[in-house]
Amino acid sequence: MTVIRRPTISFFVGLLLAIAAILKLAGLVGEPSRRMGLFSLESVKVAEINFEFFLALWLWSGVSPSWSWVTSVLVFMSFSGVSFNQAWSGESTCGCFGKVDVNPWYTFYLDLFVLAALALARPTNFAISELLSVGIPTTRKRLVLGASALAIVFAFTGVFVDFYFGSFHAALANFKGELVVVDPFISDLGVCNDRDRKEVSVRVFNHGEKPVRIVGQTPDCSSRIATKLPMEIPAHESVGLRLVYVVNGDVGIFTNDVVLFLDTGSLETLTFRLTGAISPKR
């Protein structure tokens, strides 16, 4: 009978987490990934990326295998719940792999497969006493110290980013070369009825050195900027915008891009997205 070795499973689970984190990071630096609600927030995406990298390193290190096994099981149970909810809601992509579109049903099946593999590769010495054990071999102590040093580096990097750029949002905008950005990029309107009128509030940030003016939006029969335009955004400041959106479409998930015109010395455009779900008529 073939024996499934736990180190092999841990390696491949860690590799899957690392790949997901790298693709999320690439999606964060490039075009925003198409997620809804809480998961569209950049701070949440950064937390996801950091945690997935951390768990991958933990699995590869072999430190406290029972703890890493329990954590992995809980994490993939959560992942499977989220992907099942996305699939059941009719979302076209899970957003788990950045800009790579993956059907949430496939992600759900992958999560179940990982859970099954983890169940087959449960640590042979798994016990509550092992979970509570604090004895770690010297080589593993070095790994823990290395991970702690990495965490300290990340912490100091975060402090530097906050001090130099003012916020992670501003640092990311400068890195991507997008000096004018909308937060949130995606506004989730939730479950709506056809012909509902929804009011959306967003903030437009100007991370550049010169003032920028919002002068209008592209013609759109569904959405209308309720804030008086034109509006000037001073350098390194932000303004709030209100938008009235009339829900219109077929039953299911919908998305609508709102395109603003900016005067930055030349005419440019700025896009953000509205999304939600239209419920069947009762």
Q: Provide the terminal-to-terminal Cα distance of the chain, rounded to the nearest Å.
A: 56
Task: Tell me whether residue 168 is in a domain.
Answer: no
Q: Tell me what pLDDT residue 40 has.
A: 52
Assigned token pair, 81: 């719940």
Sequential pLDDT tens for the chain (282 residues): 344 455 678 888 888 888 888 888 776 655 444 444 445 555 567 778 888 888 888 888 877 777 888 888 888 888 888 888 777 765 667 777 777 778 788 888 888 888 888 887 777 655 544 544 544 455 555 555 555 565 566 666 666 666 655 555 566 666 666 778 887 778 888 888 888 888 888 888 888 888 999 988 888 778 888 888 889 999 888 899 898 898 887 778 888 888 899 988 888 888 888 888 888 766
Shared domain for 112 and 184, answered yes or no, is no
Last residue of a domain, one of 107, 135, 163: 135
Distance of CA 151 to the CA centre of its chain: 20
Percentages helix, strand, coil for the chain (3-state, rounded to 5) are 45, 25, 30
For position 164, what pLDDT does the model report? 58
Task: Please check whether residues 42 and 121 belong to one and the same domain.
Answer: yes
Count of CB atoms situated within 10 Å of the CB of 245: 21
Whether residue 102 sits in one domain with residue 15: yes
Segments forming the whole domain that contains residue 224: 179-278
DSSP, collapsed to helix, strand or coil, labels residue 12 as: helix
Q: How many domains does the chain have?
A: 2
Last residue of a domain, one of 79, 106, 135: 135
Q: Check which CATH number belongs to the domain holding 207 and give it.
A: 2.60.40.10
Q: What is the pLDDT of residue 162?
A: 60
Question: Cβ distance 253 to 199 under 8 Å?
Answer: no
Q: Which among 113, 135, 157 is the end of a domain?
A: 135
